[in-house]
Amino acid sequence: MKHSLSPFILSLTVAFTGLFITGTTQAQNTIASDKFRQLSEVLPTPNTYRTASGAPGHEYWQQQVDYSIKIKLDDKKQHLTGNETLRYKNNSPDTLRYIWLQLDQNKHMSNSDYNVSRASSKLKKVTFNRVRGMVESQKFEGGYNITKVTANNGKKLHYVINGTMMRIDLPSPLKSGSDIKMHIEWNYQLHEQKVLGGRSGYEYFKEDDNYLYEVASWFPRAVAYYDVMGWQNKQFIGSGEFTLEFGDYDVKITVPADHIVAATGVLQNPKKVLTKTQRKRLDKAKKAKKPVIIVTAEEALENEKSRSTKTKTWHFKAKNVRDFAFASSRKFIWDAQGYQHNGTNTMAMSYYPNEGNPLWEQYSTEAIIHTMEQYSKFTFDYPYPVSISVNGPVGGMEYPMITFNGPRPTLDKKTGEKTYSRRTKYGLVGVIIHEVGHNYFPMIVNSDERQWTWMDEGLNTFLQFLAEQAWEDDYPSRRGDAANITSYMKSTNQVPIMTNSESILQFGNNAYGKPATALNILRETIMGRELFDFAFKEYAQRWKFKRPTPSDFFRTMEDASAVDLDWFFRGWFYTTDNVDIALGNIHLYTADSQNPDTEEAWERALDNEKPTFISKILNKGQWIRTHDKPELLDFYNEHDKFTATNAARNKYNKSNKKLEQWQKDLLLNQSNFYIIDFENKGGLVMPILLDITYADGSQEHVKIPAEIWRKNSKKVSKLLVRDKEITALAIDSKWETADVDVNNNYWPARPIKSRFDIYKFNKTKKDMMRDYNKELKSLDDEYSEDDEKEDDDS
């Protein structure tokens, strides 16, 4: 899902139990402060299902659930009625006595955990939409009406509904390796997405009295059962998305005959639901070089006026998917373009109302193809036959093969002119890349979304950044650049990335921005592209069409690269520390040659460098006794205290004679021995990226691995032996590491640049007498902008 503020703002107070042992003994403190301690004692013990290398084990298993569903959309009442036959194949080694299903629509019941457990923030300035949501969520009669649950033989099955979960008790235990078929009938009221929010819903267009439906989480779906969690039947309370099993789908969708339907899977009956012209255009699109229009803007406008009383049933099949979603409307323009590359043979398709143009016809299908092309480089070939982007009320949400994306141009109601902001343009391209990208994570690399948001959002946002940067020069990506995450990293109301989806604070920064940035830093600064790309691809390949956990990711990244990254994952994923490495003192040493002539001269020079005491300066020109009586001067006035004696020279010559040549050479070495102190103020251990400038103007870059902090994570010093004199130092001058305070990164220090505003104090004074006597306008009068301004002031 694209992260944006929902109509409701979740305000959760979370007590985070730290990972690290906090104690008072010395030994415990050492454990807590050892940032290089291996993660193996925190990660689950490897077994035959999940190996210590991070790959699926030789006994890895997962369940398979196939669905055959019929659904009918009532466009007059915005109501859905359906029935499904679900085949549950138990591939686990366990015997199951019941099956859990997810009833996500029950989130919309007024007494749902989602509605009741929502903590409130104070109401002060609240948008119309938000207040409308607050009021409507109390009145809306949502949630499933389950009307029938039977076994394959027609016998009723006992079931219990607990919030968004339904337990169906099996007539006899389902043994390992066997399967069972069940039949369920249900109906529910769809909700207006703009009012109640969420990842699906309908949009109503007042001007032409039409509806656009984006339908998801619409059928009772099997809860995932797997080796780490058992049944993942944690209630759906809004943030933690859907943890699902792979299976094959056969879905028949009945809608008004003048609707166009977009769905997960391949259309099975084009002759029945499409016109001959549409089928011809689709055929042409397969090998087209640019999108081919299947339903034109003019045809869509015609359709908007139609009110068919007949229905059509669209039949789709999808293989090896973990979910199924669809969209339906008579407003859809539809374009398509085939994409073939390596193992991919896919029809990229976009569905959007006229309201979406001119943006959508220009960018949507192109962005779908761009995503498959770019993501495949880092993961695997896109395996599905279609990839769809639909414009509707949902801001951004992913389902297998189909995505819902929100941005649209702005219509000037007076002039009819359509324009779009920079933010809308890049928001649209970005959200399509993001949502189509979710096909890879978590639709195919099927992580447990209800538990870990970062496993799909973080990895996906990272690849989104790479794909955006390949779209156009200097694409303004919101997330991924190290410098963009520093203000979040400094903030106080944070929890670690390794926090359950429902308890995350600052959701977008925590689960999208921070992991995406962390992966960029791993790739560019710590591992290098060659090692990182191989390991990341290995993770994607190992876990495609399987269910990985965080440890499988952490372990694979090390297993495939021979880089110990435990310190990195520990710091970035298990703590809220930030990066702030500061330059401390710089010490300069040179070797003592032991030659009295050289050394005394060096001492004298050093002494001369010292400033003269103020009194001596002011005494200049005063009367001096020895000026008048030079006979008072003697040997010590002729030779200062830095004078070499013959005794010292004899001693030096004698001891020098005993030295071997290499030892003599070292004494003559004129190199500078610099010892530079570094302080870790932020807590995260990171490589030190040091830029050195020399007196002759030349520069050198030194990369000190993070391991320099392994014995003391707070203060370290580094020796640099250089012939040339160092005149300046800088840490992380390219802002690669998300260092939150770069002002302590320079020697010599630099001024901190910023601007302050000068403004004229100009507040309109309230004058009730003046305002009271103003002429009262009738409601028919046109209010000028000036009137509005005055209204704002009061």
Tell me how far, at minimum, the Cβ of 453 lies from Zn ion, in Å.
Answer: 9
Tell whether residue 1 is a contact of Zn ion (CB under 5 A): yes
Beta bridge partners of 673: 589, 721
Torsion sign (Cα): 464, 470, 471, 474? positive
Query: Which residue's CB is nearer to Zn ion, number 456 or number 558?
Result: 456
Query: Which residue's CB is nearer to Zn ion, number 457 or number 559?
Result: 457
Other beta carbons within 10 angstroms of residue 175's beta carbon come to 11
Tell me how far, at minimum, the Cβ of 434 lies from Zn ion, in Å.
Answer: 6
For residues 444 and 545, is the Cβ–Cβ distance under 8 A?
Answer: yes
Size of the site for Zn ion (CB under 5 A): 2
What letter does residue 314 receive in the DSSP assignment? E
Distance CA 472, CA 465 (A): 12
By CB under 5 A, the residues from 346 to 385 that bind Zn ion are: none
Tell me how far, at minimum, the Cβ of 765 lies from Zn ion, in Å.
Answer: 50
Tell me how far, at minimum, the Cβ of 394 lies from Zn ion, in Å.
Answer: 12
Region binding Zn ion by CB under 5 A among candidate stretches 1-9, 465-473, 698-706, 736-744: 1-9
Residues sharing a CB contact under 8 Å with residue 675, sequence separation 6 or more, in sequence order: 586, 587, 589, 717, 718, 719, 720
By CB under 5 A, the residues from 130 to 149 that bind Zn ion are: none
Give me the residue label for tokens 């359709």. Answer: 303
Query: Which residue's CB is nearer to Zn ion, number 361 or number 457?
Result: 457
Query: Which residue's CB is nearer to Zn ion, number 443 or number 716?
Result: 443
511 sits in the region (left: phi over 0; alpha: psi -120 to 50; else beta) called: alpha
Query: Which residue's CB is nearer to Zn ion, number 457 or number 481?
Result: 457
Other beta carbons within 10 angstroms of residue 616's beta carbon come to 9
Tell me which H or E stretch contains 290. Answer: none
Beta bridge partners of 168: 99, 159
For residues 7 and 191, is the Cβ–Cβ distance under 8 A?
Answer: no
Query: Which residue's CB is nearer to Zn ion, number 211 or number 465?
Result: 465
What radius of gyration, in Å, describes the C-alpha atoms of the chain?
35
Distance CA 495, CA 479 (A): 19
What letter does residue 224 receive in the DSSP assignment? P
Query: Which residue's CB is nearer to Zn ion, number 241 or number 304?
Result: 241
Tell me how far, at minimum, the Cβ of 443 lies from Zn ion, in Å.
Answer: 11
Distance CA 430, CA 407 (A): 10
For residues 403 and 397, is the Cβ–Cβ distance under 8 A?
Answer: yes
Tell me how far, at minimum, the Cβ of 456 lies from Zn ion, in Å.
Answer: 7
Distance CA 637, CA 300 (A): 106
Tell me how far, at minimum, the Cβ of 422 lies from Zn ion, in Å.
Answer: 22
H-only helix segments in 449-565:
454-469, 486-490, 507, 514-521, 529-543, 550-559
Give me the residue label for tokens 């759906």. Answer: 236
Other beta carbons within 10 angstroms of residue 461's beta carbon come to 30
E strands present in 51-135: 64-74, 79-89, 96-102
For residues 512 and 457, is the Cβ–Cβ distance under 8 A?
Answer: yes
Query: Which residue's CB is nearer to Zn ion, number 291 or number 406?
Result: 406
Tell me which H or E stretch contains 369. Answer: helix 359-378
Binding marks (x or -) toward Zn ion, 456..485, rule CB under 5 A?
Answer: -x----------------------------
Query: Which residue's CB is nearer to Zn ion, number 398 or number 739?
Result: 398
For residues 717 and 588, is the Cβ–Cβ distance under 8 A?
Answer: no
Query: Which residue's CB is nearer to Zn ion, number 1 or number 466?
Result: 1
How big is the chain, counted in residues? Answer: 794
The CA–CA distances, whole Å, from 488 to 79, 491, 511, 650, 744 equal: 42, 5, 12, 67, 19
Tell me how far, at minimum, the Cβ of 203 lies from Zn ion, in Å.
Answer: 21
Tell me how far, at minimum, the Cβ of 344 lies from Zn ion, in Å.
Answer: 22
Tell me how far, at minimum, the Cβ of 229 lies from Zn ion, in Å.
Answer: 22
Distance CA 481, CA 471 (A): 16
Tell me how far, at minimum, the Cβ of 498 lies from Zn ion, in Å.
Answer: 18
Torsion of CA 145, 256, 69, 446, to 10 degrees: -90
Tell whether residue 504 is a contact of Zn ion (CB under 5 A): no
Distance CA 313, CA 123 (A): 47
Query: Which residue's CB is nearer to Zn ion, number 384 or number 567?
Result: 384
Query: Which residue's CB is nearer to Zn ion, number 1 or number 688?
Result: 1
Query: Which residue's CB is nearer to Zn ion, number 143 or number 395?
Result: 395
By CB under 5 A, the residues from 408 to 437 that bind Zn ion are: none
Query: Which residue's CB is nearer to Zn ion, number 114 or number 454?
Result: 454
Distance CA 504, CA 241 (A): 13
Tell me how far, at minimum, the Cβ of 360 lies from Zn ion, in Å.
Answer: 20
Query: Which residue's CB is nearer to Zn ion, number 1 or number 516?
Result: 1
Tell me how far, at minimum, the Cβ of 713 lies from Zn ion, in Å.
Answer: 34
Tell me how far, at minimum, the Cβ of 325 lies from Zn ion, in Å.
Answer: 14
By CB under 5 A, the residues from 27 to 86 that bind Zn ion are: none
**387: closest CA among 333, 348, 429?**
348
For residues 23 and 29, is the Cβ–Cβ distance under 8 A?
Answer: yes
Query: Which residue's CB is nearer to Zn ion, number 1 or number 527?
Result: 1
By CB under 5 A, the residues from 439 to 458 that bind Zn ion are: 457
Tell me how far, at minimum, the Cβ of 402 lies from Zn ion, in Å.
Answer: 14
Tell me how far, at minimum, the Cβ of 406 lies from Zn ion, in Å.
Answer: 13
For residues 393 and 352, is the Cβ–Cβ distance under 8 A?
Answer: no
Residues sharing a CB contact under 8 Å with residue 556, sequence separation 6 or more, in sequence order: 53, 54, 55, 535, 538, 539, 542
Give me the residue label for tokens 């490897």. Answer: 46
**216: closest CA among 263, 163, 257?**
263
Tell me how far, at minimum, the Cβ of 114 lies from Zn ion, in Å.
Answer: 19
Query: Which residue's CB is nearer to Zn ion, number 260 or number 467?
Result: 467
Contact positions vs Zn ion (CB under 5 A): 1, 457
